[in-house]
Amino acid sequence: MDASPIQTEPAEIVEVKGEEGVLPDVAPKGWACGRRLDRLGHAAGGLGPGVRAFDPGSVVVRHADCLLEEGKDYLLDHEWGTMGLAPGSTVTNEDRVEIDYRYSLLRLDSLVLTGGGQRVVRRGQSDLTVPEPPALGEGERREANILVPYFSDGGDVDVYPILETPAQAQTLTTPGRIPNTMAKIWAGRPVKIVCWGDSVTEGGDASSPGKKYVSVFAEMLREKFPECDFTVKPVCLGGSNSDQWLHPEKSERLRDDASLHWVGWQAVADEKPDLITLEFVNDAGLEPRTYEEHYADIVRRTRELGAELVLITPHFTRPSMMGFESLRDEEKRAYVLFLRKFSEGRRLALADASSRWGHLWKEGIPYMTLLRNGINHPEDRGHALFAEELIRCFG
């Protein structure tokens, strides 16, 4: 591939005029506190506003035809685009305001070798968080993908040569470690699987219920073992970690929010599963010194149910959460390294989704383009990676 610099079209800019709403009486912080700019939040699946996607200098706020002043009347998180009222503001949290702003989109172009032997840069489809590369024509080959960042002039791009195929990804997924479940499958007996987890197991930002990894995994099972009757049930709660399930009395949210109808681990036990899959990206936030004792407790509880366990290493999240400087960095989260070591030491089944995410850059895919909310929720392609590693445990 030619190593000369690549110039492509600039990133798209979207202008928003007169967005109406109210500002909460809170100081904005990150994506979770303050008013989210509507167009940014909706475009990213309703949660993430597309960090660094908007131009803070473009924000204009009006109330009753009067311009409001940042710092005096309202506060703005310049990274995340969330807003709130400033102390002593001239407006209240009931006054409707109008907001103007502009934001940019990502794009994933491709360097394509045409059937006639020419190399061309072909434009992909822009999106706030999950751009996709362009389709290929007959006889064409994609040599690289080109990430066009927010507000790019088309020259400051990041090129991802396609070095390997998905089939070349090396993971630590372990077939052969769920013998009791496999014996029931081969005997044609019904098998019940509980997929235990957090918001990703709930479906995260999959485009439809059928695209979340639990549904894709269930379909793969039925295709691979058509003679077996499978029940695959998610038991999950967004924003939770496994420690809260085992010890709900520790969590004020779970203890006091009656709408959650919280029963903790008992919700898993009541299903009487043959197999439990465990996905908790939020467990990366637990204290590493607690991992061994905590996961030993999970193994003990699982065995008391007469069930087997598949541990799932989590997907990649935004680089600052991963401790990354580059989208090509290797997995370094203490939680993931622990899961790999723990599963090997105890001969537990492991579905190593993390390694698949770590291989994406070699496939020409910047992994962040698989995060619908730009933070921690995969879109459909990301959900499929979980299912693909899980089904390998059934080899």
Residue 250 has what pLDDT? 76
User: Residue 107 corresponds to which tokens in the numbers above?
Assistant: 């794009």
Helical ranges in the chain per DSSP H: 38-43, 179-186, 199-202, 213-224, 242-246, 252-256, 265-269, 291-304, 319-322, 334-345, 353-359, 380-392
Is 277 in the same domain as 352? yes
Q: What backbone torsions phi and psi does residue 112 show, to the nearest 5 degrees? A: -115, 135
Q: What is the CATH number of the domain that holds 214?
A: 3.40.50.1110
Is 283 in the same domain as 185? yes
Is 147 in the same domain as 205? no
Is 359 in the same domain as 278? yes
- Residue-range definition of the domain harbouring residue 375: 167-392
Domain boundary among 83, 103, 123: 103
User: Mean pLDDT per segment of 10 residues, for the chain of length 395 residues?
Assistant: 74 96 93 84 52 90 96 93 94 97 96 96 95 96 97 96 97 98 97 97 95 98 98 94 89 64 84 98 97 98 98 96 95 98 98 98 97 92 98 97
Is 37 in the same domain as 146? no
pTM of the full predicted structure?
0.92
Is 347 in the same domain as 363? yes
3-class state of residue 226 by DSSP: coil
In a domain, 275, yes or no: yes
Is 120 in the same domain as 75? no
Is 335 in the same domain as 263? yes
Residue 3 has what pLDDT? 44
Residue closest to 180 by CA, chosen among 267, 302, 351: 302
In a domain, 3, yes or no: no
In a domain, 183, yes or no: yes
Alpha-carbon distance of 41 to 58, in angstroms, equals 17
Alpha-carbon distance of 263 to 256, in angstroms, equals 12
In a domain, 147, yes or no: yes
Domain boundary among 55, 76, 103: 103
Residue 194 has what pLDDT? 98
In a domain, 2, yes or no: no
Q: Where are the beta strands (DSSP E) in the chain?
A: 13-21, 35-36, 60-63, 66-67, 74-76, 82-85, 97-104, 107-113, 119-122, 141-148, 158-161, 191-197, 230-236, 275-279, 308-312, 349-351
Is 328 in the same domain as 341? yes
In a domain, 125, yes or no: yes
Q: Count how many residues are written for the chain.
A: 395
Residue 222 has what pLDDT? 98
Is 99 in the same domain as 113? no
In a domain, 6, yes or no: no
3-class state of residue 38 by DSSP: helix
Domains held by the chain: number: 3
In a domain, 384, yes or no: yes
Contact 10, 85 (CB under 8 A): no
Domain boundary among 162, 177, 198: 162
Residue 264 has what pLDDT? 87
Amino acid at 134: P
Is 143 in the same domain as 288? no
Is 93 in the same domain as 194? no
Residue 248 has what pLDDT? 82
